[in-house]
Structures are given as C-alpha cells and as structure tokens.
C-alpha cells in the first residue's frame, strides 16, 4: 500500500527529493511473427518450434518483464533503475532474454528543466547510452479518478507513434503504429515525473499502461533521511533513440534465430 508519510507542502523545500518503487507486468500476447518483423505465414514456414516450445519461450519472455524498479527524483531530475534480482539455482540453463527491460548500469535519466533524456540499455551484453531530447507528450486530461493507496489519481491518455516496415509489398515503405498510453497521476505530489521516459502531467504518475505493459507504484518515500544522489548515465556506446530502435530490432531477430537453432540441434540428437 502506498504510504503518504509526509504532506505535499514539503515539495516546496529547496532540497526536496524522494524515491518510488514500481512493479511491471506484461499483458502482451507474443507473436513470433511480430517479434521478427515478418508476416506470420513466413515465420511458420521457417521455424521448427512446436506450439509447446513457442509457448515456453513466450512464458520466459513475459517472466523477464516482471521486474521491480526504483525512481529517484527531485524537483527537476529523476533516475529510473531496475532493482537487481537474484537468480534461483533451478533457473540455470534457461534462455536469458536481454533487452526487454531497462539496463541496470545507469537507468533512465530525465531532466525536465534542461529537457535532457539519457538511457542505458543492455542488449545481449552490450551496453548502449541513448542520448536524446526529452520527449514532450500530448496528454489528454480526464475527470475520471480512482484511489490508489493514499492518493487520489486522475486519468490522462496520449498516443505513442512507432514505425515498422511494411512487408506486404515490394517497396521499402514504413507504416506507423499508434499505442494508447494511459496514466494515473496524483496532484497530491505536484511533480511532473513518472516511471521510465514518461512525464509531463500536473502530478506524479502512480500507474501507467503502455498497451502491453503495466507499471504500478507500490511505495513512495518523500524526503528520506538518507540523501539521494542522482547521477546521469555516462557509460555505453552513444546512439540516439532512432538508431537504437534499429539495433534493438535486429538483435531481437537474432534472439529468435538463436533459439530456433538451439531447438534444431536438440531435436536432432
């Protein structure tokens, strides 16, 4: 349950800071055709995975997306980092899905005053540093509200656009997909901050749905006794957001091919 241990007027203190804990859970239905970026018929012709094997890989991917994050924040900056999780002995030997979460090296850094966005992403063991301008979201406000823990939250929505290749013709044409983003924010903490890259509302984002991922805040601590130091990520190969998306998509294709090859070798023994 969310704990509002301090009143919102403490936000006006010069050295105001805090931290929030978020849990993520996936609600997506994984299609291996979608992951590879080809049409489903073509995938079915080239893969040797049975339905049960595809289901096993899907479960592993979804489990890898169930993570816990901590958001450190002050009036103008925030750093969103994954909390490391210890592996169980019985998980050894299972495929490790890399790149479906945020990197743990530096996390996601936002500076709302300077409009700076930095993010570390670890893909197949290679660390990238995404440097870009902080995205401005066109939020549509709503009077719809609900109670989340100790906070009264209001609904806001926006759309996130993304490009994908259109393989249905011979021309190299990109199509634009739109994803509905739903946020629940509280004016009780009047900071324009939230998890991952999301921000821009007249209050703190407590819950977020990105279409295939739910992000829910379970704990907020305002002005903790131990001082919080927010460090900008600095390690990794520097790329902008568009270039990273291209690299990421290629690596996901490699992941599926590696898994398919592994199954072929196993079945041939």
Q: Does 89 map to a domain?
A: no
Give the pLDDT score at 111: 97
CB 178 within 8 A of CB 160: yes
**Distance from C-alpha of 217 to C-alpha of 188, rounded to nearest angstrom:** 15
Cα 255–Cα 259–Cα 262 angle in degrees, nearest 5: 140
Mean pLDDT of 58-66: 64
Q: Does 163 map to a domain?
A: yes
Region label for 236, one of left (φ > 0), alpha (ψ between -120 and 50) or beta (otherwise): left
Nearest by Cα to 57 from 267, 259, 248, 252: 259
Percentage above 90 pLDDT, the chain: 49
Domain count of the chain? 1
Q: Between 163 and 104, where is the model more confident?
A: 163
**Distance from C-alpha of 40 to C-alpha of 45, rounded to nearest angstrom:** 9
Q: Does 19 map to a domain?
A: yes
Mean pLDDT of 98-122: 79
Q: Does 21 map to a domain?
A: yes
Q: Does 3 map to a domain?
A: no
Q: Does 228 map to a domain?
A: yes
Q: What is the value of pTM for the model shown?
A: 0.73
Q: Does 74 map to a domain?
A: yes
CB 100 within 8 A of CB 207: no
DSSP sequence for 201-269: SSSEEEEEE-SSEEEEEEEEEES-SSPP--PPP--SEEE-HHHHHHHHHHHHHHHHHHHHHHHHHHHH-
Q: Does 2 map to a domain?
A: no
**Distance from C-alpha of 20 to C-alpha of 221, rounded to nearest angstrom:** 6
**Distance from C-alpha of 85 to C-alpha of 69, rounded to nearest angstrom:** 11
Average pLDDT, the chain: 80
* Residue 233 domain boundaries: 8-84+98-268
Mean pLDDT of 174-197: 91
Give the pLDDT score at 149: 94
């Amino acid at each position: 349950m969310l704990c509002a241990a301090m009143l919102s007027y403490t936000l006006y203190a010069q050295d105001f800071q805090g931290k929030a804990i978020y849990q993520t859970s996936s609600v997506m239905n994984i299609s291996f055709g979608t992951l590879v970026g080809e049409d489903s018929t073509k995938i079915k012709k080239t893969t040797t995975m049975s339905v049960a094997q595809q289901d096993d890989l899907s479960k592993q991917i979804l489990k890898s997306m169930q993570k816990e994050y901590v958001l450190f924040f002050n009036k103008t900056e925030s750093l969103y980092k994954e909390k490391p999780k210890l592996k169980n002995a019985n998980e050894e030997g299972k495929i490790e899905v890399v790149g479906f979460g945020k990197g743990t090296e530096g996390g996601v850094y936002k500076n709302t005053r300077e409009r700076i966005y930095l993010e570390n992403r670890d893909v197949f063991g290679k660390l990238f540093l995404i440097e870009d301008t902080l995205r401005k979201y066109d939020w549509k406000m709503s009077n719809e509200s609900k109670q989340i823990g100790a906070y009264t939250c209001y609904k806001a929505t926006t759309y996130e656009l993304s490009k994908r290749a259109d393989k249905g013709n011979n021309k190299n044409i990109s199509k634009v997909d739109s994803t509905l983003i739903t946020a629940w924010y509280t004016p009780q903490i009047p900071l324009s901050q939230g998890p991952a890259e999301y921000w821009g509302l007249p209050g703190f984002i407590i819950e977020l749905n990105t279409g295939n991922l739910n992000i829910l805040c379970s704990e907020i601590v305002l002005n903790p006794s131990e001082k919080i130091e927010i460090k900008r990520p600095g390690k990794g190969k520097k790329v902008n957001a568009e270039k990273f998306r291209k690299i990421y998509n290629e690596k996901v294709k490699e992941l599926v091919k590696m898994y398919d090859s592994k199954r072929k070798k196993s079945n041939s023994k």
